């Protein structure tokens, strides 16, 4: 499979859009608080200032599939542009989070004044769609163990800080959250995470997660 977009590239593309957005007031959300869902629709585009937001798709039967984790300086909520009656998407604060937002009318006005904002938003959307395409390919071709390793690598690139030793440290991600991202049960995720820990590929606690990316990449060979 093709390599995923690097963290530095994501930051550059986000900065392209942020350069054209005015500062707005910051809204605070507690850990676990819902930002929007099918029962509380949103008509705004959001920017994460602090914290992390989880974007989920609600499937039939109430099952929730984690699509992505959005970190500071990244935008989400593009579905507000569609103006459709039912959007089965939920945004949740994974930790204490601060957001700026602009409603669709404001965004349309900004785009009319600065067309380059539209180009930057389209680039960000294309990048996200490209990542979803890679995930679909992973679901078709990879084993659960490989999907988990690939997911951990991606989260480490987006959310982690690499030390001189090569270890990457990042926020803790629960087995439940990983199961919703990988597409399996929490029990199976726990089984593979325990194996990865015994192999020295990862370590984790309630405070943080540490992993060796190169060791995890061997799972993909």
Same fold, 7-137 and 143-220: no
List, for residues 36-82, the tens digit of each pLDDT value: 998 888 889 999 999 999 999 987 777 889 999 999 989 999 888 88
What are residue 67's phi and psi, to 5 degrees? -85, -45
Cβ atoms < 10 Å from Cβ of 71:
20
* Contact by Cβ (8 Å): 97, 71: no
Look at residue 116 in the predicted model and tell me its pLDDT: 87
* Contact by Cβ (8 Å): 171, 97: no
Rounded (10°) angle between helices 144-159 and 7-18: 50
List, for residues 71-124, the tens digit of each pLDDT value: 998 999 988 888 766 678 999 999 999 999 999 999 999 999 988 888 888 888
Cα distance between residue 42 and residue 35, in whole Å: 8
Domain limits, the chain: 7-137, 143-220
Look up residue 37 and give its two tokens: 């869902």
Residue 18 has pLDDT above 70, yes or no: yes
What are residue 83's phi and psi, to 5 degrees? 55, 45
Q: Domain 143-220 adopts which CATH fold? A: Arc Repressor Mutant, subunit A (1.10.10)
Q: Domain 7-137 adopts which CATH fold? A: Jelly Rolls (2.60.120)
Cα distance between residue 77 and residue 118, in whole Å: 15
Cα distance between residue 39 and residue 89, in whole Å: 10
Cα distance between residue 134 and residue 4, in whole Å: 8
Going by C-alpha positions, the residue among 71, 74, 68, 80 that lies closest to residue 13 is 74
């Amino acid at each position: 499979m093709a390599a995923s977009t690097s963290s530095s590239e994501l930051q550059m593309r986000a900065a392209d859009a942020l350069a054209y957005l005015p500062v707005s007031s910051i809204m605070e959300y507690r850990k676990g608080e819902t930002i929007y869902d099918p029962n509380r629709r949103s008509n705004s585009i959001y920017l994460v200032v602090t914290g992390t937001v989880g974007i989920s798709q609600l499937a039939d039967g109430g099952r929730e599939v984690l699509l992505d984790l959005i970190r500071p300086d990244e935008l989400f909520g593009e579905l507000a542009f569609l103006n459709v009656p039912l959007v089965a998407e939920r945004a949740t604060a994974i930790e204490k989070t601060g957001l700026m937002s602009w409603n669709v009318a404001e965004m349309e006005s900004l785009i009319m004044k600065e067309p380059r904002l539209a180009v930057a938003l389209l680039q960000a959307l294309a990048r996200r769609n490209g990542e979803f395409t890679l995930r679909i390919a992973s679901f078709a071709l990879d084993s659960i163990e490989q999907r988990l390793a690939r997911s951990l690598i991606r989260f480490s690139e987006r959310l982690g800080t690499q030390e001189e030793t090569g270890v990457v440290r990042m926020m803790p991600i629960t087995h439940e959250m990983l199961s919703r991202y990988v597409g399996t049960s929490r029990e199976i995720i726990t089984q593979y995470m325990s194996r990865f820990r015994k192999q020295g590929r990862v370590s984790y606690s309630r405070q943080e997660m540490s992993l060796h990316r190169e060791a995890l990449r061997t799972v993909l060979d």
